[in-house]
Amino acid sequence: MLLELVQQQMPYGKYQGRLLADLPEPYLVWMHSKGGFPDNKLGRQLALLYQIKLNGLEYLLEPLRNGQVPKFH
């Protein structure tokens, strides 16, 4: 799911075409305050991104942006 945040684009709205990981935190906070995120895959992705940004964990996405997908054994 983290990998999708750095690959998938926002499909609609003011930030249409922008990578999900690049959505500004104030936008996610606004969306959360207006009743939450949609009840679908995109909503779950936005909720995860909201938590990542809210808790200062953006650094977790940086290796994925650079194509360094971790390998699990």
pLDDT, one tens digit for every residue, the chain (73 residues): 999 999 999 999 999 999 999 999 999 999 999 999 999 999 999 999 999 999 999 999 998 988 776 665 5
3 state SS of 9? strand
Enter the pTM of the model.
Answer: 0.87
Burial 31-48 (b: 16+ CB within 10 A, else e): beeeeebeeeebeebbbb
Nearest-angstrom CA–CA distance, 25 and 30 = 9
Give the count of beta carbons closer than 10 Å to the beta carbon of residue 53.
19
In the chain, where the domains are located: 2-65
> Residue 17 in contact with residue 10, Cβ under 8 Å?
yes
Q: What pLDDT was estimated at residue 72?
A: 57
